[in-house]
Amino acid sequence: MPITPESLSTPSTILQRLDHQGVVTLTMNTPERFNALSEAMLEALHDALADIADDSSVRCVVIAAEGKAFCAGHDLKQMRANPDKAYYQALFTRCSEVMQAIVHLPVPVIAKVQGIATAAGCQLVASCDLAVAARSARFAVSGIDVGLFCSTPAVALSRNVARKRAMEMLLTGEFVSAELAAEWGLVNRVAEDDALDEAIQELTASICAKSAVAVRTGKAMFARQLSMPLDEAYAFAGETMACNMLAEDVSEGIDAFIAKRPPHWRHR
């Protein structure tokens, strides 16, 4: 289903907006529950990401949130109301599918973080390609505080920050500031609270100014090569780059560079 500027999902769960650049903002909209990843929230995110994956007009995705918190992780009350292993397995499987959908989405996904991002909420930040945080934002994988090791968040976290940093967060449940999260590699940029929107706009504008072909090629290539041995990664990267060189946008980009003029991308 093509995304339109007017399209909105159920207001109680996700708000969806498309701007003129092709940037889709998905705003988690259950602030009274700290935007917890309830069953409804996970389904809404999954469906929205599936629609975006099929829309070639989308250039970038921003995952944001209403209220004081970005995302407090899984809905613990909902989980306690369903004390069944099969239920938990299905819940964590669906959450993992959402996180992998972000990774496999053809376009970059940026987390716009205000307030707290805890447990699976921190996992959500780590699963995004990029993250911009308000200076007051804080991050934690705090399942350990209720007797639950954050195993699924650990997968995404350990692919962003160094092993010992990840284990410290997972074993202590302690909060990490936005500045420390940036230092450790969990987020890219930290903005003053009242400048968070501007920081996101600057980053999305920079991405959207590039060739859509190059951006989509690059995201797919980067994710895939991470799991390869070094020699296989170079072989795959070389093949990808050779194919990328044949794109019209590359010819235009090189010609523009030589002529010292702005490029006019064929594919926006």
pLDDT digits over 70-100, tens only? 999 999 999 999 999 999 999 999 999 999 9
Confidence of residue 11 (pLDDT cuts 50, 70, 90): low
**Averaged pLDDT for residues 144-173:** 97
Q: Could you tell me the pLDDT band of residue 27, with boundaries at 50, 70 and 90?
A: very high
Q: Check whether residue 121 and residue 103 sit in a common domain.
A: yes
Q: What percent of the chain shows pLDDT beyond 70?
A: 95
The answer to whether residue 111 scores a pLDDT higher than 90 is yes
Kindly indicate the confidence band of residue 44, based on its pLDDT and cuts at 50, 70 and 90: very high
- What does the pLDDT look like over 238-248, one tens digit per residue? 999 999 999 99
- Tell me what pLDDT residue 9 has: 44
- Amino acid present at 182: A
Containing structural domain, residue 49: 14-208
pTM, to two decimals? 0.92
Residue ending a domain, among 169, 189, 208, is 208
Pairing of strands 176-177, 138-140: antiparallel
Say if residue 158 is in the same domain as residue 234.
no
| Cα distance between residue 30 and residue 123, in whole Å | 18
User: Which of 166, 189, 208 is the last residue before a domain boundary?
Assistant: 208
Reported confidence tier of residue 266, pLDDT bands at 50, 70, 90: confident
Q: How many angstroms separate the first and last alpha carbons of the chain?
A: 19
- The structural domain count of the chain equals 2
30 lies in a domain?
Answer: yes
**pLDDT band, residue 10 (cuts 50/70/90):** very low
Considering the chain, what percentage of its residues have pLDDT values greater than 90? 93
| Contact criterion met (CB below 8 Å) for 23 and 208 | yes
pLDDT band (50, 70, 90) for residue 268: low
> For residues 205 and 266, which has the higher predicted lDDT (pLDDT)?
205
Confidence of residue 12 (pLDDT cuts 50, 70, 90): confident
- Tell me, yes or no, whether 7 lies in a domain: no
119 and 156 together in one domain: yes
Residues 183 and 108 grouped into a single domain: yes
Strand pairing partners for 134? 191
The Cα–Cα gap between 257 and 145 comes to 55
